[in-house]
Amino acid sequence: MSAATGSRRRRWVLIAAILVAAAVAGGLFWFFSGDEPDEVDAERALQQDQDSLSEVFTPDLERSDDTADDDPNDGNDDEPTETGPDVDDPEDGDPDGPDEVPTGAPQTAEDLDGTWVVDTSREFDRETGRGTFIGYRIAEELQGVGATTAVGRSPSVEGEVVFAGLIVSSVVVKGDLTDLESDDGRRDARVRSQLGPDATATFELSRPIELPEVPPVSEVIELTAIGELTLLDVTREVEVALQAAVTETGLLITGSTLVALSDYDVEVPSAPIVLSASDDATLEWQLFLVKG
């Protein structure tokens, strides 16, 4: 083989290696990057919930042009059909009128008193942050990509919050981590393999929380919860920053806390392109509650 032929072969091998590396990097960029969901925020969750309620409970009162007249042959285009009480009058006692938005909003300490359970009936959407869920956020540094944040969320949550008047006396919330969803199923498979088939995260309040008052509907208040987080059978004390609000149908609580995964014997999943992945992860909660 001549020197020229060997040189050309080496050049093509080098080009092929570059193309393969570019394809791998591009695929992993798609795998690990993207517009990730924003952090949990009570005001945004309230607005989304109000929009959803409006879609469900706002009736369609529009009538087509061909039904606007009482009698199309009587020549009177201005007289409406007499079909019963005016649906626009909330005091006419019409049992067939539009449904009112249901309200379970507590207004007093007496209303709060008792057990509130996690409501999972709302539609869950990972990207927009709708519904009830538990999740994680982990920072990564990727070769050729830079800093990204991996976000996974699970709608499989159960639990209850107990009030004694204005005092939160008990909180137990448990999330199923095997249902965590991110923007790619391959990442989810790696996370599930690391956590195991029965992985859960449980938070239990260890110190009561006292509210200054019952806030008006949709007014967000800031609270701090001290409790025990159990992850993969390891329990540590954590401090959780909370946002709470009264909704039209109950209560909303969002919260987050930063934990070191190594404290819970959790190994961060890795890939060849991952230069570094933080051992610190932010755990998030967004919980809608209804009176039990």
Q: What is the DSSP letter of 95?
A: T
Is residue 85 within 8 A of residue 92, CB to CB? The reply is yes
The answer, yes or no, to whether residue 223 has pLDDT greater than 80, is yes
Range with top average pLDDT, 75-89, 261-275, 278-292? 278-292
Q: What is the DSSP letter of 181?
A: B
Q: Which residue has the higher pLDDT, 278 or 6?
A: 278
pLDDT attached to residue 25: 35
Half-sphere exposure of 17 (CA within 13 A, CB side): 6
- Report the 10 Å Cβ neighbour count for 255: 22
pLDDT attached to residue 238: 98
Distances (CA, A) of 259 to 138, 175, 244, 256: 10, 16, 22, 10
The tens digit of pLDDT for each residue in 175-205 reads: 999 999 988 787 788 888 888 889 999 999 9
The answer, yes or no, to whether residue 15 has pLDDT greater than 70, is no
Tell me the three state secondary structure of residue 42. Answer: helix
pLDDT attached to residue 270: 62
Range with top average pLDDT, 45-54, 213-222, 273-282? 213-222
Distances (CA, A) of 148 to 58, 137, 143, 152, 273: 40, 10, 11, 13, 12
Helices (H) and strands (E) in the chain, counts: 4, 11
pLDDT attached to residue 76: 53
Q: What is the DSSP letter of 179?
A: G
Tokens at 164, concatenated: 């004694």
Question: What is the rounded distance in angstroms from the CA atom of residue 27 to the CA atom of residue 6?
Answer: 32
Is residue 217 within 8 A of residue 247, CB to CB? The reply is yes
The tens digit of pLDDT for each residue in 20-75 reads: 333 333 333 333 444 689 999 999 999 999 887 776 555 544 444 444 445 555 55
**DSSP states of 103-170:** -----SHHHH-EEEEE---SPPBTTTTBSSEEEEEEEEEETTTEEEEEEEEE--EEEEEEEETTEEEE
Q: What is the DSSP letter of 22?
A: H
Distances (CA, A) of 101 to 58, 87, 90, 93, 290: 8, 15, 13, 16, 15
Mean per-residue pLDDT of the chain = 79
pLDDT attached to residue 46: 96
Q: Among 11-20, 33-42, 149-158, whose mean pLDDT is lowest?
A: 11-20
Task: Return the CATH architecture of domain 33-45+108-291.
Answer: Beta Barrel (2.40)
Q: Domain coordinates of the chain in residue numbers?
A: 33-45+108-291
